Structure 1
Amino acid sequence: MQRRPLVTFAFSSAALAAPGLMRNASAQESGVTSKTLGIGCSAPVSGPLAGLTHDSRLGMEAAVAHINRRGGIFGRMLQLNITDDAYVPQRTVDNVKQMIAQGNAFVLLSCAGTPNNQALLPLVEEAGIPYVAPLTGASSLRKSLRNVFHVRASYTDEIRRLVQRLAGMGLTGVGVVFLDNGFGRELLEDATHAMAEQRIKPQVQAALTVDGKNLGEVLDKVAQARPAAVLLATVGSASVALVRGLKKNHPGLLMAGTSVALSGDEIKQLGKAGSGIAVTMVVPDAHLAKIPLVRDYQSAMRASNHRVFTQRSLETYINLRVLAEGLERAGAALTRAKLRDALASIRNWDMGGFVIDYASQPPYVGSRFVDLGVFSGTGRFLT
């Protein structure tokens, strides 16, 4: 896999300070030298969630490229190292172990998947490596871990917002189609609790395999129940076939999903079939250029020759900038302990329309931002 340079955001003149200001001891920590800093990421470059990684990678790379063009952080160029785990948890763990052993990762950023992060977090704590912005909103993973700094709001927050919206529309019979793994089952549990709070009857619960091979059975189950709306607790390529099947069988059926239900590539595949689907957003609308942060993101994407803007690439752009802010605050004489303390010190940091605020004690969760959007036939949100 070809590596592309990642950018460091230089937020102060100190970021461009000469490498000679750094103590030799800091360069001895794995993954960092006087000239480079390795960022490790394990993600599904292949397999059913490859579409998510495509968008994620573009956002991170655009941010890294911007930062490195500005001279890096304290003279260090950021190097993003992404390895493929195909959404297999053990491969995620093996990838990170190898990165640490080979000295390719001073810090971890945005490894993807709920089951993958569930397997990874014990290793992160044991290795003492800072980990910023896991790409999962699973509340079960938001534990009191000293090395893990979540950025996005939780799936629990997202599901609650969706169910509140459905209740406000007067809907009483709602179905849930969930991915048949740890991710989907946790979202099902969140949905069950949220619907009970709103006195909404769970009309049907159908488990969709990760590869989508039992789609026919799921569609039959939904058809028999005839719910007024369906919550999509799915992710990846399986979501595309599911939406198409539901649209074909139930043209007027209301569908609503979380922020990860459909990636940019999957929305493109759906085309007009994606029109009317409601989803949560854990970052602002990637096309809303009136927001300063979004303008910065779009500028960085264009500078990297990318002109397709997506929620996922904006999210990972933000994640990289949160890491960069921590590196800035940690200073030139960098250690992992200093980076942990620096990240924990972030309070009410306004990135330009999006605020990050970590409490002094773990679990560290930077944002509770949740908004709602409805896709148009062009794949953008209706305004």
Structure 2
Amino acid sequence: MSVSESRSVLPSSPQRRSLLAAAGLSMLGAPWVARSQSSTLRIGATIADTGVERFNGQGLLYGAKAYFDALNRAGGIHGRQIELLKADDEFNAGKAKDNALKFAADASVLALIHPQGTRQTAEIMKAVRDLPIVGPNTGATALHKSGAKNVFWVRTNYDQEVERLVKLADNLGLKRFGLVYPNDPFGQSVLESFQAALARRKIEAVGIASTPGTASLEVDAAARQLAKLPVQVLIMSLAGTTPAFYQAYRAAGGVSMCYGLSVSGTAANLAQLAKGNDRPFFSVIVPSPNAQKFEIVRQYRRDMKAAGFESESLVSLEGYVDAYVLAEGLRRAGPRVDRDSLLAGLESLSNFDIGGVRLNFDKHVREGNSYTDTVTIDASGRLIS
């Protein structure tokens, strides 16, 4: 099926669902026909659908799809359905950039939602400047502060996340900190945030170790190194490899309290981490998926169930929130939405309540969220606020 043919498929049809489930680089390889208007509101997503980081990528996509599916069932936006186009970048920065450029070259694609990864987002931001980008899945502070006008940050930056974890430990009287991070742009960003948070308290780290990269499962050396040190609190700046490191650290005799970042909180990670006798704490940039005092969480849980997604996680809730923000920008852009009017719509989201969490964007502000909290998990992998 060609791309032009796919546009005529009704959003609720089995054929379309099959197409979206299978769509990836093969879809992007077909001829792309530029259109200023389409019968659907077309949104691109480049994510890791394969490899170690696939659980993060799929979680983001499932959350966004759950929201858009619910919106489409309710009639869409200004009478038009939202079409979510997926491209698998395999967590490769070059492929992520290529995917984004292909989306940007098609004038009927109005925005890119939550590109995944620090290096991937950096490459996309350099290459794509006229396509709105909503909710990149990275908290790299330098990227957040870059001033890119087409990028709207829905997650908080790593300075805020790490500060939350360090403050929690400091308030408990714990002063001997350690860090494990991947030796890549994601890890380097968190390392800087970690060092800054300790410096504000005049604390020196007891131990710092690195793994080869975000997707690398070579975690044993770092685990053994840190297990030998008198660390009280170990911050695991890892994503999909968090369970592998955590298990290796405990096997090597490491006894410190362990904290993880929000990108660690996939359903698959939580299920693995729940198997131990003790369990990590996590920083979060959205409420816990179990915190039903938040309207956004209640809505998310309903829509995930309706979409047929059984597992709930911090990552899929983040994807859901990204979709919520993007959809409101589309709504405010008006019936004849294009990329410019969408930018204006997103800029108008000042003091915007998404069901218990408020976001603030304007013509000059692109970091819309300041929400952070900490959670842990129970023996079943369920998050506890």
Q: Which amino acid aligns with 2:209?
A: A
Structure-2 change in CA distance of 1:3 and 1:289 (3 Å): farther
1:201 counterpart = 2:196: no
Please report how far the alpha carbon of residue 250 of structure 1 lies from its aligned counterpart in structure 2 after TM superposition. Answer: 3.4
CA distance in 2 between counterparts of 1:136 and 1:3 reads 28
Decide whether the 8 Å contact of 2:235 with 2:260 is kept in 1.
yes
**SS of structure 2 residue aligned to 1:202:** coil
| Mapped contact 2:20–2:86 kept (Cα < 8 A) | no
- The partner residue of 1:214 within 214, 218, 224 is 218
Q: Are the equivalent residues in 2 in contact too, given 1:272–1:376 (CA < 8 A)?
A: no
Q: Which residue of structure 2 lines up, in the alignment, with residue 295 of structure 1?
A: 298
Indicate yes or no: 2:79 matched with 1:92.
no
**Does the CA contact (< 8 Å) of 1:31 and 1:106 recur in 2?**
no
Match of 2:375 among 373, 376, 380: 373
Residues 93, 265 of structure 1: alpha-carbon distance in 2 compared, 3 angstrom cutoff = same
| Runs of 4+ residues over 4 Å off in structure 1 | 29-32
Indicate the residue corresponding to 1:169 in structure 2. 172
TM-score where L is the length of structure 2: 0.88
- Aligned match for 2:137, one of 122, 130, 135: 135
Q: Deviations over 1:251-293 (max 9, x none)?
A: 6420011111241111112332284311111001111223211
Structure 2 gap segments, 5+ residues each: 1-16, 22-32
Q: How does 1:236-275 map to 2 (within 5 A)?
A: 236=240, 238-250=241-253, 252-273=255-276, 275=278
Query: Does the Cα contact within 8 Å between 1:40 and 1:104 map onto a contact in 2?
Result: no
Q: How does 1:53-132 map to 2 (within 5 A)?
A: 53-103=57-107, 105-125=109-129, 128-132=130-134
Residue 13 of structure 1 aligns with which residue? none
Of 229, 232, 237, the match for 1:228: 232
What is the match of residue 157 of structure 1? 160
Give me the whole-angstrom Cα distance separating, in 1, the residues matched to 2:333 and 2:217. 48
State the one-letter code of the partner of 1:271.
Answer: A
- Residues of 2 paired with 1:274 and 1:330: CA distance? 51
1:31, distance to aligned residue in structure 2 (A): 5.9
Choose between structure 1 and 2 for higher RCO, CA contacts under 8 A separated by at least 6 residues.
1
Give 1:57 shift: 1.4
Q: Is the 8 A contact 1:31 1:100 kept in 2?
A: no
SS in structure 2 of the partner of residue 256 of structure 1 = strand
In structure 2, distance between residues paired with 1:262 and 1:320: 19
Q: CA 1:382–1:102 in structure 2 vs 1: closer, same or farther (change >3 Å)?
A: closer
Tell me the SS of whatever aligns to 1:365.
coil
Is the partner of 2:178 in helix, strand or coil? strand
Q: What whole-Å deviation, never above 9, does each CA across 1:111-131 have from its counterpart, x for those lacking one?
A: 100010011102221xx1111
The AA in structure 1 aligned to 2:92 is: V
Q: Which amino acid aligns with 1:194?
A: A
Give the C-alpha shift of residue 368 in structure 1: 0.4
Larger mean Cα displacement after TM superposition, 102-111 or 65-74: 102-111
Indicate conservation of the 8 Å contact 2:104/2:128, yes or no.
no
Q: Which one of 334, 357, 363 corresponds to residue 360 of structure 1?
A: 363
Give 2:149's aligned residue.
Answer: 146
Distance 1:274 1:40 in 2: 41
| 1-structure distance, mates of 2:346, 2:307 | 27
Aligned to 1:306: 309
Q: Secondary structure at the match of 2:234?
A: strand
Counterpart contact for 1:152–1:282, Cα < 8 Å: yes
- For 1:25, the equivalent position in structure 2 comes to none
Q: Counterpart in 2 of 1:11?
A: none
Partners of 2:170 and 2:197 lie apart in 1 by 10
CA offsets per residue over residues 288-338 of structure 1, 9 Å max, x none?
223211111111111112232211111111110101100111101212111
Alignment gaps of 5+ in structure 1 = 6-28
8 Å Cα contact 2:46/2:115 also seen in 1: yes
Contact 2:96–2:124 (8 Å) recurs in 1: yes
Where 2:57 maps in the other structure, the secondary structure is helix
Write the letter of the residue equivalent to 2:288: D
> Does the CA-based 8 Å contact 2:375-2:383 persist in structure 1?
yes
Instruction: Provide the C-alpha distance between the structure 2 equivalents of 1:110 and 1:274, rounded to a whole number of angstroms.
Output: 34
With the length of structure 1 as denominator, give the TM-score of the two structures.
0.88
1:31 and 1:230, CA in 2 relative to 1: closer, same or farther beyond 3 A? Answer: farther
Q: Residue 255 of structure 1 aligns to a residue in which SS? A: strand
CA RMSD of aligned residues (A): 1.9
Q: Does 1:45 align with 2:49?
A: yes
Contact 2:359 2:368 in 1 (8 A): yes
The answer (yes or no) to whether the contact 1:4–1:61 under 8 Å persists in 2 is no
2:279 to 264, 276, 281: 276
2:333 matches 1:338:
no
Q: Kindly tell me: are residues 96 and 274 of structure 1, through their superposed partners in 2, closer, same or farther at Cα, counting changes over 3 Å?
A: farther
Question: Cα offset for 1:104?
Answer: 5.9
